[in-house]
Amino acid sequence: MLLRAAAVISAFAVGVGLAHAEELTPEQARAFIVGKLFSYTCFDGTVGMGRIFGDGSVVGTIRPSGQGPIRFAALPAGTIKVSSTSVCAHLNGMMFEPCFRVQKTDTRSFRGSLAALSFAYCDFTQHNPRTQLTSNDPMMREQAAAVAMPRASAIQRAPVTPVTVAPARPIETSSGASGQGTSPVAATPVSTSLRPAIEE
């Protein structure tokens, strides 16, 4: 009986919290989420941390059902697609593209749920990667370190311009343009004024 009461109270609290949630449009979701580090907890116990980049690629960690080792995951550009009407995921091997509802729950958190299955959701909380790296929790440090490293594809590189090399020319001497009967320029000796001080 006590367990049922706790479940009802929890469900009520979640419902009240989501009643104040703000539904984000796809463009609002992009502005709120892209480039930021979020930890997440899903309805099935899966936990992790990740970051979505502007090109739709994803880098992060995942611990399925909250058990076993933490795994690193990197999904290519175009995985997350934002249109004027939806936020969807393109995953190779899937027969359909799941689309998501994004509800902002506060200034640093949101809930992402499958548009067709609202019970399948994950709650995301924004984190500062610098403070996560110094956290006392080893799991949080490990996850933050994995996703804080920049992706090779995210680093903008300057275009490479080939360098043309001209053959070396001989050094001209001071007398005569023809090079006939010329002698090399004599080198001027280095000042010897410091030599006595050095020898003392």
**Span 69-100, pLDDT tens digits:** 999 999 999 999 999 999 999 988 888 899 99
Q: How far apart are CA 109 and CA 91, in angstroms?
A: 25
Q: Report the 10 Å Cβ neighbour count for 49.
A: 27
The residues that bridge with 121 in the sheet, in sequence order, are: 113
Taken in order of first residue, the domains within the chain and their CATH numbers are: 16-153 (2.40.128)
Matching residue, tokens 């609202």: 118
Q: Residue 94's pLDDT is what?
A: 85
Q: Residue 117's pLDDT is what?
A: 86
pLDDT at 16 over 80: no
What value does the mean pLDDT take over residues 38-61?
Answer: 95
The residues that bridge with 50 in the sheet, in sequence order, are: 38, 60
Tokens standing for residue 46: 């899966």
CB 47 within 8 A of CB 66: yes
CB 49 within 8 A of CB 34: no
